[in-house]
Amino acid sequence: MRDPNRIGTIIEKIEKIWRHRPDWRLGQLILNIVKIKCPELFYLEDDTILEKIGDLEKELGIDH
């Protein structure tokens, strides 16, 4: 099993970069981190990602 303690560290680092570049969309931020091309994710709006997060929460039975 992967170390669950990594999650906080990763989220903090992503937040630090995103606050430095608040105009970037989440997908754009992730792709800039990993340095790959994926136009579908790069241009995906954050509200769409939030919808998909909600869908996954429902699928996994996670309370909002």
Distance linking the first and last C-alpha atoms of the chain: 25
Instruction: Look at residue 64 in the predicted model and tell me its pLDDT.
Output: 63
Give the pLDDT confidence of 4-62 residue by residue, as tens digits. Answer: 999 999 999 999 999 999 999 999 999 999 999 999 999 999 999 999 999 999 999 99
Please check the confidence at residue 63 and state whether its pLDDT lies above 90: no
pTM confidence score: 0.84
Nearest-angstrom CA–CA distance, 62 and 7:
17
For residue 6, give both structure tokens: 């990594």
Contact 22, 30 (CB under 8 A): no
Helices 26-34 & 6-20, crossing angle to 10 degrees? 110
Nearest-angstrom CA–CA distance, 34 and 44:
16
